[in-house]
Chain A
């Protein structure tokens, strides 16, 4: 109605204006005029032309962009030239009919290619130059936008014109700038962090990434949210924070193992700057190796990964570290009960290059040595580093590394494990719409059990890989983005062998393996119209094992029948797999959307462990081979996403069904160490999982946090186990509730609370007992027939900023935290074979003539208070 009135008004005004045209209208096109229009609409410019030339215009303002603003300057140009300029910019055609000019929209086929221009660049934090991954760019006039990629790069192709460009990112001030886009330009956008304020009301963009992104089952966790969360011993921990994400189930207290949507713990890939970390745990799993201080972005994919990611069935935890402040040097750190952290970052050359080094070192050894003088080492550490160099406007290189290790030695024995990873990355902007990322990374994981330190005699399990990959992002237009790439990964597996200091005495029991993997992928994300979007992709992988190696073949009864020996470099088995992915999006309105997806994932590296312990033990990795087929999963998800704009709350409801094939379980009491016939101990079957997950998140404001509920089931079926009957997977804990809140009491005090609840995990409890040689031997019924008691736990923290003045260069704070406030005794193990020697001291009885065993539970961390001191020098 408004447009109709406007149309009528325009035509009327033009008619009146042109009523006094001179008779020599035929010569008007050559008439020279001078115009200077600043931030005027096309209608206003045409009106000015009409006044100065005497020509009349006839057009429908609904069909041409009459209200679009323009800056236009013409000095002594003919009317025809002016019209040609405006026609090009506003994509209309014009024709002189007697004494008037008729405007109509240009036919699309007639649109010259040169009319499109591209705005591209990086979106960065103005204070430190860090790339802001996932920030939005929005063109107000066209109501279109895009999002910066994993490297902070964006590209948006538009018709020539003058636009108001708006950029936003959670926790940062909105950026707005009018850009006259006549040619393609590359311009970085700098966003400034919001100063600390006590905002009760949040004003957010109507739309949100969660609504518009054509991606299902993805959660973005801000490092700040991890830092604000109450943590055990005040040790902020990225992996532990995953318990607040519906669909993620942590093994138990004291563990970094986690299970996603019915998957196993080896089906989760942890990437730090594209390098896999195989065992992200310290102190057997009490803490993870990943601290939020050095992290800039954390994305979690629960099975529906982009085609560029893969190699695991259940999840990818994609972590990007900070590149380092390229504006000024800063130092930050933390002193806690368990460890000390220190980080330094700064520019080599301002705006051009920077570095970051951070380390964490445990301070437990003295405590352990107080207990026992024979302890020689009782420590862990992490060291993270990154350097980046801007070589030119189109080229940047990054080098990052991570090394972490745990050492526990006493007397002549000890255990040690270490993760090492390094990445070299080259970002190159080929054209303003084509972005290239090339990554060369290496990572390795070793686990050692020293049986005789003096002779360097040790059991060692090892996995390492070298990866080279190239990713291309082609921003076709704001509605269409194409990503594609290829990669090659080399793996080395040592499933566990005894080594001594002398190479002559080394006994090789289990064959080491070598594998080569080629990856080719493509992904196309396209917005079909205002309502529908599509994201489809395909990942092709080829997995080949090669010598030097030997492998066994087994008969149907798992007895070895043949030994195959392969010379160095001989390829001997290949698996080809195609992993399609599809996501369909329907935008209900700007506040809500529906999405559905299907994804297939394939996994060729397998963790062989029949441990039910929550603690890091002797991990053995094996590749797909003759006896182990690649694991495969098919997942279908459906989700509803809603943004409450006034409160800034994002709501997500997702349901999923997942089928997992070629799953691995174990023969009863399997021998997994130093067993050359290790693969004969494996049993293969299927698994399925389904569930519904709800989550509400608020990332901004005085009160922030997330709450979620999920109902999910996970079942496994193996023909050779449990009489072929289906049984509950360990991760089958139907009900899960979590709540994490942070509240700014005032500008100096912040309060945090975290509550988790889930149904107890399944385990096999005895159904009866019998005696053998004086031992009371349990008899089990159905596998995982019982459950641990329900788990729940409340944590709380309070952070006090010691500075009154937030502008001071040296900022410091104290964090007080309590883990398990109400002292819930959450079972880690339940035992049926111990006797109570004294109060809370349970041991296995030595004297077989006495029977006084009791059912006991082992638990960790009742009411554990902690204090830590955090500082930052900026």
Chain B
């Protein structure tokens, strides 16, 4: 049992409570450019997503359309990205793989303003054995730290083709497990997460991403504002860091990836 559960017991016993509150957000339209893009060592078309921040929680981000987006591979090559589909704010590269040891530069021109970001990948360690456990008739992922270096593992879980998938249900899920190898009070005492269950015969595609030093700093700040926020030992709220220039937000990352696919089988 983790320490945070121990502490939560006390507060639960003493009638602590969390409930919805209707308070207006002091929204501001800052017209910022938000970048979400990761280049990997996979030989694929990589996607850079450009959006504007939105003011209502759970809203769909407004795409930034019509930007000129380039990726410079060291001093050797330049890739021009195209928005596909048009108006989506998603810019895709030609097929190429990001090479370890090379610095990649993202260049964006939008409404006369230029934005830059740079990153380079570090090696990725092998994926650990996938572990999951039975909860009633379904299964849940057992997520544990792995390796020596900071990383995150993206789990895409799909059971659309199984008999357990009922009509009108999504029958898919995505769980990302971050293992930044940092020591933070708010991480140690982070709030609990919802339990995500999936049926037997689900397919789990895992990708383990390496994380550069700057990317780790960014992810640590993002997690401080998202998954680690709301525990008993919250830290000062602040904007996540970025490697983008000119006031843009988000991060342009270059990583190394390993992946595997697992079919969930019956377990006692």
B193 close to chain A: CB less than 8 A: yes
Q: A780-B239, A861-B15 are in contact. Are A413 and B23 (CB under 8 A)?
A: no
Cα–Cα, bound, A857→B22 (Å): 9
B42-80 CB mask vs A (1 if < 8 Å, else 0) is: 000000010111110111010000000000000000000
B205, CB-defined interface residue at 8 Å: no
Query: Do B1 and A611 touch across chains, with their CB atoms under 8 A apart?
Result: no
Instruction: Kindly identify which residue among A408, A668, A671, A672 contacts B239, using a CB–CB cutoff of 8 Å.
Output: A668
Q: List the A residue with the shortest CB-CB distance to B59.
A: A769
Min Cβ gap A495→B in Å is 13
Interface residue A766 (Cβ < 8 Å from any Cβ of B): yes
B residues in contact with A827, CB < 8 Å: 21
A368 touches B10 (CB 8 A): yes
Asked if B238 CB lies within 8 Å of chain A CBs, one says yes
Is B3 within 8 A of A413, CB to CB? yes
Could you tell me if A845 and B193 are in contact, using CB atoms closer than 8 angstroms? yes
A767 CB to nearest chain B CB (Å): 4
Scan residues 444-474 of chain A and give those whose CB is less than 8 A from a CB of chain B.
449, 459
Chain B residues with Cβ below 8 Å from A254 are 16
Which chain A residue lies CB-closest to B192?
A843
Number of interface residues of A (CB under 8 A): 94
- With a cutoff of 8 Å between Cβ atoms, the chain B residues found around residue A832 in the complex are 57, 229
Asked whether B29 is an interface residue with its Cβ less than 8 Å from the other chain, the reply is yes
- In-complex Cβ contact of A613 among B5, B16, B173, B234 (8 A): B234
Q: Does A397 contact B (CB under 8 A)?
A: no
CA–CA, A406 and B36, complex, Å = 45
Contact: B34 with A770, CB < 8 Å? yes
A855 within 8 A of B: yes
What is the CB-to-nearest-CB distance from A458 to chain B, in angstroms, rounded to a whole number? Answer: 12
Chain A stretch 597-654: residues in CB contact (< 8 A) with chain B: 610-613, 615, 617-618
Chain A min CB distance to B264 (Å): 16
Q: Distance in Å from the Cβ of A328 to the closest Cβ of chain B? A: 40
Contact A767 B234 (CB under 8 A): no
Distance A668 CA – B237 CA, assembled complex (angstroms): 8
A857 near B251 (CB under 8 angstroms)? Answer: no
Asked if B25 CB lies within 8 Å of chain A CBs, one says yes
Flag whether B109 is at the interface (Cβ < 8 A): no
A769 to B34, CA, bound (A): 10
| A residues 811-857 in Cβ contact with B at 8 Å | 825, 827, 829-837, 840-857
Q: Is A789 an interface residue (CB 8 A)?
A: yes
Hey, which chain B residues are within 8 Å of A284, CB to CB?
7, 10, 232
* Chain B residues closer than 8 Å to A617, beta-carbon distance: 185, 189, 233
Among A191-199, A370-378, A744-752, the stretch in contact with B: A370-378
Q: Which residue of A lies closest to B156 (CB)?
A: A849
- Cβ-neighbour of B17 out of A766, A836, A840 (below 8 A): A840
B55 touches A848 (CB 8 A): no
Contact A775 B222 (CB under 8 A): yes
Contact B6 A615 (CB under 8 A): no
Within 8 A of B (CB), among A429-450: 449
Interfacial chain B residues near A368, Cβ < 8 Å: 6, 9-10, 13
Q: Is the CB of B194 within 8 A of A673?
A: no
Contact A847 B36 (CB under 8 A): no
Tell which of A413, A670, A772 touches B250, judged by Cβ atoms closer than 8 Å.
A772
In angstroms, how far is the closest chain B Cβ from the Cβ of A194?
38
A858 contacts chain B at the CB level, 8 A cutoff: yes
Q: Across the interface, do A855 and B194 meet the contact criterion of CB distance under 8 Å?
A: no
Contact status B234-A829, CB under 8 Å: yes
Q: Is B2 an interface residue (CB 8 A)?
A: yes
- The answer to whether A770 touches B182, judged by C-beta atoms less than 8 angstroms apart, is no
Are B58's CB and A770's CB within 8 A? no
Q: Given A767-B55, A773-B36, A776-B58, are A612 and B238 also a contact pair (CB < 8 Å)? A: no
Q: CA separation between A765 and B239, bound complex, in Å? A: 11
Interface size class of B (residues with CB under 8 A): 35 or more
> Could you tell me the distance between the alpha carbons of A857 and B232 in the complex, rounded to whole angstroms?
13
A70 within 8 A of B: no
Residue pair B224, A768 in contact (C-beta under 8 Å): no
Known: A612-B234, A780-B239, A853-B57. A768 touches B226 (CB 8 A): no
Residues of B within 8 A of A849 (CB): 170, 172-174
Interface string of A783-819 (1 = CB under 8 A from B): 1011001000000000000000000000000000000
Q: Mark A102-117, 1 if CB is under 8 A from B, else 0.
A: 0000000000000000
Check: A779 CB closer than 8 A to any chain B CB: yes
A371 x B9 contact (CB < 8 A)? yes
* B234 contacts A842, C-beta separation under 8 Å: no
User: Are the C-beta atoms of A781 and B28 separated by less than 8 Å?
Assistant: yes
Determine whether the beta carbon of B26 is less than 8 Å from that of A786: yes
Q: Are A769 and B20 in contact (CB under 8 A)?
A: no
Cβ of B123 under 8 Å from chain A: no
Bound complex: CA of A769 vs CA of B250, how far in Å? Answer: 11
Contact of B195 among A413, A830, A846 (CB under 8 A): A846
Question: Which residues from A are CB-within-8-Å of B13?
Answer: 367-368, 371
Distance in Å: Cβ of B140 to nearest Cβ of chain A: 9
Query: Nearest-CB distance from B238 to chain A (Å)?
Result: 4
- With beta carbons under 8 angstroms apart, the residue of B34, B38, B194 that contacts A837 is B194
A666 at the interface (CB under 8 A from B): yes
Cα–Cα, bound, A860→B18 (Å): 9
- Contact in complex: B30, A767 (CB < 8 Å): yes
Which single residue of chain B is at the shortest CB-CB distance from A413? B3
Which A residues lie within 8 Å of B233 (CB)? 611, 613, 615, 617-618
- Assembled-state Cα–Cα distance A283/B227 (Å): 25
Report A849 CB to chain B, min CB distance, Å.
5
A26 contacts which chain B residues (CB < 8 A)?
none
Measured in the bound complex, the distance between the Cα atoms of B182 and A852 in whole Å is 29
> What separation, in Å, do the CA atoms of A413 and B229 have in the docked complex?
22
B206 near A: Cβ within 8 Å? Answer: no
Q: Which residue of A lies closest to B16 (CB)?
A: A860
Please give the distance in Å from A588's CB to the nearest CB on chain B: 47
Within 8 A of A (CB), among B210-225: 220-222, 224-225
Chain B residues with CB under 8 Å of A860's CB are 11, 14-17
Q: Can you list, as one digit per residue, whether each of A408-419 has a CB less than 8 Å from chain B (1) or not (0)?
A: 111101110000
Known contacts being A778-B225, A856-B21, A858-B17, is A375 close to B194, with CB within 8 Å? no
B232 touches A846 (CB 8 A): no
In Å, the complex CA distance between A662 and B39 comes to 44
A847 B239 Cβ-Cβ under 8 A: no
The reply to whether B9 and A770 contact each other, CB–CB distance below 8 Å, is no
**B129 at the A/B interface (Cβ < 8 Å)?**
no
Contact between chains at A770 and B174 (CB < 8 Å):
no
A residues within 8 A CB of B130? Answer: none
A568 interface residue (CB < 8 Å to B): no
Which chain B positions have C-beta within 8 A of A670? 235
* Interface pair B183/A855, CB less than 8 Å apart: no
Q: Is the CB of A771 within 8 A of B9?
A: no
A834 near B230: Cβ-Cβ < 8 Å: yes
Question: How far is it, in angstroms, between the C-alpha of A492 and the C-alpha of B170 when the chains are bound?
Answer: 59
- A177: interface (CB < 8 Å): no
Q: State whether B51 touches A615 (Cβ < 8 A).
A: no
At the interface, yes or no: A862 with Cβ under 8 Å from chain B? yes
Interchain CB contact (< 8 A) of A829 among B28, B193, B194, B230: B230
Query: What are some 17 contacts across the A-B interface (CB < 8 A)?
Result: A372-B5, A372-B9, A408-B6, A410-B5, A413-B6, A449-B3, A611-B236, A613-B232, A617-B233, A767-B25, A768-B29, A770-B53, A776-B58, A778-B226, A836-B20, A846-B194, A856-B20
Beyond A777-B222, A859-B17, list 6 extra A-B contacts (CB 8 Å): A284-B232, A841-B18, A846-B173, A847-B194, A861-B16, A864-B15
Instruction: Return the 5 tightest CB-CB contacts between A and B, nearest first.
Output: A668-B238, A770-B34, A768-B53, A767-B28, A831-B230
Give residues in B with beta carbon < 8 Å to A: 1-3, 5-7, 9-23, 25-30, 32, 34, 36, 38, 49, 51-55, 57-59, 61, 170, 172-176, 182-186, 188-196, 220-222, 224-227, 229-230, 232-241, 249-251
